[in-house]
Amino acid sequence: MNTRRNFIKNTGILVVGIAATGGGLPELFAQVATGPYPDPDFLQLDSWIVIRADNTATFFVGKTDLGQGTGTAFRQIMSDELDIAYDKTSCVMGSTHNTVDQGGSGGSDALQTDGYPMRRVAAEARRVLLEMGATHFGVPVSALAVSDGVISVVGSTAGSRIPDPGPRQVTYGDLIGGRRFNVTLTGKNTDTTTGIAKLKPVQEMKNVGKSPQRYDIPGKVDGSLKWAVDMTAPGMVHARNVRPPVAGATLVSIDEASVKGIPGFIKVVSKGNYVAVVCEREENAIRAARQLKVEWKKPATAPFPASDKLFDYMRAATPSSTGKPIETGNVDAAFASAATVVEAEYDVPFQGHTAIGPAHAMADPSNGQMTIYTNDMKSYGMRNGVAQFLGMPRDQVRVIWMDGPQGYGRTAADDAGFEAAYIAKEIGRPVRVQWSRQEETAWDTKGPAYAFKMRGGLDAHGNVVALHYDACAADHNHLGYNEHETVLISQLMGTRKNLISQGRASLPSDMYVIPNRRSTTRVVPLPMPFETPLRTGNLRDPDGPQVQFALESFIDELAHKAKADPVEFRLRLLQASTQDDSGFKRARSIACIKAAAEKFGWDSRPSPKSAVASAKAEDILTGRGIACAYRSQTVVATICEVEVNKKTGRIWAKRIVVAHDCGLVINPEALIRVVEAGTLYGLSRALHEEVKFDTEKVTSVDWMTSPALRHEDTPERIDVVIVNGDPNPNRPDLQHYGAGETMCKPMLAAVANAVFDATGLRHRRIPIRSAGIEMP
Amino acid sequence: MAAITLRVNGEAHTVDVEPSTPLLYVLRNDLDLSGPRFGCGLGQCGACTVLIKGEAVRSCIRPVSQVAGQEITTLEGLAQNGKLHPLQQAWIDEQVPQCGFCQNGQILTAKALLDKTPNPTDAQIRAGMNGTLCRCMTYYRINAAIKRAASTMKGAL
Ligand code: FES
Ligand code: FES
């Protein structure tokens, strides 16, 4: 195995061999190299924490890190609860054989949900160690103190308050090093797993709120980290897929002789409409995939409308499902008596995940087991899916998560792992599958397209009295999480899930107080729901950027009609009630908007800047826009300043301010970077990204035809303001909410609102086309 | 197949491959150098970047036969005598990467940029780095790290 991980034999279930990783940190592995691979028991403390004789600890958590530093954050919260120095800890994540199933990544829930069982088990380990310390010294636990993994007797039972310096100290490692806790936990599932120890008050946490550097970064900049793309095994071969040339095509015949002459050619693997070539060397597999002659039959009817007709199609299509209408107040009456009624339609196209590295995985069928090395964010789901797909017992399948290029949702339905496992089983050798760029950009999963219709009513004073939000999403047959019947290879082989997912059209995330409000939603299908490159999956958030674009653009349109400043208009809508939910999202929304406006130096005035300005002779127009959103309990307000070049149409987001409230911040510096990058990710979706297709195939297939944000788009300045808008900001139980996605949501509208402020032109379709900026 | 000798990170290696094989696959699969990464195979993203004679070269579209005998530096060869290159150190100090997959190309492209333009302005960085893509959008921090490295390198002169 070409990896620096050692598996050292030991009779214990968990304790194990130690090797250095790229980051120079110790890593522990279960002794299960040859399989089978039973699930680690989440009700055993030993499944979560191992303490070694040298007084270092390793945490085993069932999450994956998408490059946002969650592993570092887990070490911070767990070392705080365990009372051990941060730099004496390490973290093993997301591999099905040695970490409990916490579901991998998704929903930005790593800290918000899974952080709590992690804290509780670490607190329980501390409690157990203190009891062991009490037994060791023959004193009550109340006579002990612990710091950095060293237990000291601080109060003598004889009444002396002076600690005995020598033998009156013992380390965690002395007490348990290398041995099992054998402590059983309680809980219905990993989310509720707990011991009997209490969590620490926030104020007593030493590492939380500090910014240790992410431990994964050194190995990523010196080239020493082994990624999933780097995995090899003795005898490993290379496979490439051959996709149907048009969606829905059926395989007629394969001319294997067309690739027979390629050196090291091994086999064409094919079933149904799935085709792959396997060669000894990678470059020859690439060549074989290009050269293989395959006859395909086109489908009788077009699989989808062309992308430039998509929104007409969606608005006219018969829904496959309709959301229950939500209504408060008397919307019809409010519109009838409104002084002004405003209407607008917004469109957001399909957008791809288009990770910088296309899908890949390596599968090793050694020992009659199946081991998959992958960057699948939901490794546990992949394990179940692959076991079902191959008809193997679950405990003979192991999925080892490793770092990979992020697609922010792409690997929730990780096709390459299934393909590698299938081919490995077919040929009985380790196989590496690597998708091509064009394959990835065309065939990866897509964020659903949305068509919106908004209608708002203002009274004579410019107050919003009615709002009708109508959303239509092309999200029928939304993919599951690594379900064996929904991944692409399975669809191409002809599997059809009985109950296909209805998908959804989501509601906006805002705390505005609007007395009469109606929301109607529906999902429409494209003509071909299976074997399509327009498979919808979870794309970062997964539909907040679309929905919030419509809502927050429209709020701006209402502010414009009301001749109100966009910030004041929003604050008025938020402050119209003091009624709140348990997370104080309204109070925190107000705090974020105020913090963003203050940091930006917002000049209060209605948009656009001035009709005169846009008519002026200068080439560069400037403007600013605001938008906000929440996701679960995390609240964000974003202000963007743009420069619009009248001649070239270029839009440059010159300055961005993000006010961000995710409750208790574990690692401020890491959070700031996640927010910066996520905000620019929203900017990319606002300005550049769109999946284009004709009526039979995706035509945006590489970085030329499918552009994304580049260095030239980098803002001059980004300010991230960390807000704690909780009414009781110092509460000892202040919660840590997720922070991986919220900041993407408001960015599309913030840019569109800024462009309106600069130019007086309202853009209602994403991406905001530079051609549309040309001044009248 | 042909025997081709490559000089990579100061060492000579002879490989027996088709002369048209892109350098990337030889580095990764024959020399076990995983710094350069496959991102597109089309010369469009920069993930596969290596340095040849000081230039940032996209190894995914460079036939191995064309670089025989030339001094090739990969990310693994950037540190000298166990000390990280100032750019690598700046990448750590600024905590640049998110997923990190593109950062091989970012760092080596920045190296070639600083070799030519030791004191780049923001605008020069944006222009010089423009062809090197990051899907996690770490551009803002890359810009900061390049400036940090430039000032370290100036101090070292
Ligand atoms: S992989 Fe070479 S430029 Fe993209
Ligand atoms: S850091 Fe993920 S692609 Fe650049």
Concatenated DSSP letters for A629-683?
Answer: EEETTEEEEEEEEEEEETTT--EEEEEEEEEEE-BS-S-HHHHHHHHHHHHHHHH
Identify whether residues A173 and A283 lie together within a single domain: no
Identify whether residues A735 and A696 lie together within a single domain: yes
Partner-chain residue, chosen from A222, A673, A703, that has the shortest CB–CB distance to B95: A673
Of A523, A553, A582, which closes a domain? A523
- Is A406–B44 a contact, with Cβ atoms under 8 angstroms apart? no
Closest listed ligand to the CA of B23: 1
CA A246/CA A528 separation, integer angstroms: 12
State pLDDT tens for residues A525-560. Answer: 999 999 999 999 999 999 999 999 999 999 999 999
Predicted-complex ipTM score: 0.98
State pLDDT tens for residues A437-471. Answer: 999 999 999 999 999 999 999 999 999 999 999 99
- Is A357–B127 a contact, with Cβ atoms under 8 angstroms apart? no
Find the domain containing A247 and state its range. 229-300+359-434
Of B28, B44, B76, which closes a domain? B76
Evaluate whether A753 touches A548 at the Cβ level (below 8 Å). no
Whether B99 is in the pocket of ligand 2, judged by its Cβ within 6 Å, is yes
Q: What is the structure's pLDDT at A2? A: 36
- Is A217–B142 a contact, with Cβ atoms under 8 angstroms apart? no
Identify whether residues A255 and A341 lie together within a single domain: no
Identify whether residues B63 and B110 lie together within a single domain: no
Identify whether residues B90 and B142 lie together within a single domain: yes
- Is B100–A2 a contact, with Cβ atoms under 8 angstroms apart? no
Closest listed ligand to the CA of B57: 1
Evaluate whether A247 touches A699 at the Cβ level (below 8 Å). no
Q: What is the structure's pLDDT at A577? A: 86
Identify whether residues A584 and A572 lie together within a single domain: yes
Identify whether residues A132 and A221 lie together within a single domain: yes
Identify whether residues A481 and A567 lie together within a single domain: no
Token pair of A621 as six digits = 């127009």
Assigned domain for A757 exists: yes
Of B76, B107, B125, which closes a domain? B76
Q: How many CB pairs under 8 A join A and B?
A: 180
CA B22/CA A513 separation, integer angstroms: 60
Q: What is the structure's pLDDT at A156? A: 56
Closest chain B C-alpha to A361 CA, distance in angstroms: 13
**Residue percentage of chain A with pLDDT more than 90:** 88
Evaluate whether A383 touches A398 at the Cβ level (below 8 Å). yes
Of B52, B76, B100, which closes a domain? B76
Identify whether residues A295 and A311 lie together within a single domain: no
Q: Is A380's pLDDT higher than 80?
A: yes
Assigned domain for B34 exists: yes
Domain total of chain B = 2
State pLDDT tens for residues A410-446. Answer: 999 899 999 999 999 999 999 999 999 999 999 999 9
Of the residues A3, A214, A220, the best mutation for testing chain B's interface (the one with the most B CB atoms within 10 Å of its CB) is A220
Find the domain containing B14 and state its range. 2-76
Q: What is the structure's pLDDT at A567? A: 98
Identify whether residues B108 and B67 lie together within a single domain: no
Identify whether residues B57 and B106 lie together within a single domain: no
Assigned domain for A353 exists: no
CA A401/CA A154 separation, integer angstroms: 44
Assigned domain for A439 exists: no
Whether B102 is in the pocket of ligand 2, judged by its Cβ within 6 Å, is yes
Minimal CA–CA distance to A375: which of A429, A417, A334?
A: A417
Q: What is the structure's pLDDT at A8? A: 28
Of A193, A225, A257, which closes a domain? A225
Q: What is the structure's pLDDT at A166? A: 55
State pLDDT tens for residues B15-72. Answer: 999 999 999 999 999 999 999 999 999 999 999 999 999 999 999 999 999 999 999 9
**Residue percentage of chain A with pLDDT more than 70:** 92
Assigned domain for B81 exists: no
Tell me the average pLDDT of chain A.
92
Evaluate whether A252 touches A282 at the Cβ level (below 8 Å). no
Whether B100 is in the pocket of ligand 2, judged by its Cβ within 6 Å, is yes
Measured in degrees and rounded to the nearest 5, phi and psi for residue A513 equal -100, 105
Closest listed ligand to the CA of B41: 1
Domain total of chain A = 4
Identify whether residues A86 and A136 lie together within a single domain: yes
Identify whether residues B9 and B35 lie together within a single domain: yes
Evaluate whether A110 touches A63 at the Cβ level (below 8 Å). yes
Evaluate whether B43 touches B105 at the Cβ level (below 8 Å). no
pTM of the model: 0.95
Whether B95 is in the pocket of ligand 2, judged by its Cβ within 6 Å, is no
Of A434, A464, A488, which closes a domain? A434
Q: Is A19's pLDDT higher than 70?
A: no
Q: What is the structure's pLDDT at A617? A: 66
Assigned domain for A441 exists: no
Q: What is the structure's pLDDT at A622? A: 96
Whether B154 is in the pocket of ligand 2, judged by its Cβ within 6 Å, is no
Identify whether residues B97 and B62 lie together within a single domain: no
CA A714/CA A758 separation, integer angstroms: 19
Identify whether residues A626 and A767 lie together within a single domain: yes
Assigned domain for A536 exists: no
Which of the pair, B86 or A27, is modelled with greater confidence? B86
**DSSP code string of A569-625:** HHHHHHHT-----TT-HHHHHHHHHHHHHHHHTPPP-PSSS-HHHHHSS-SEEEEEE
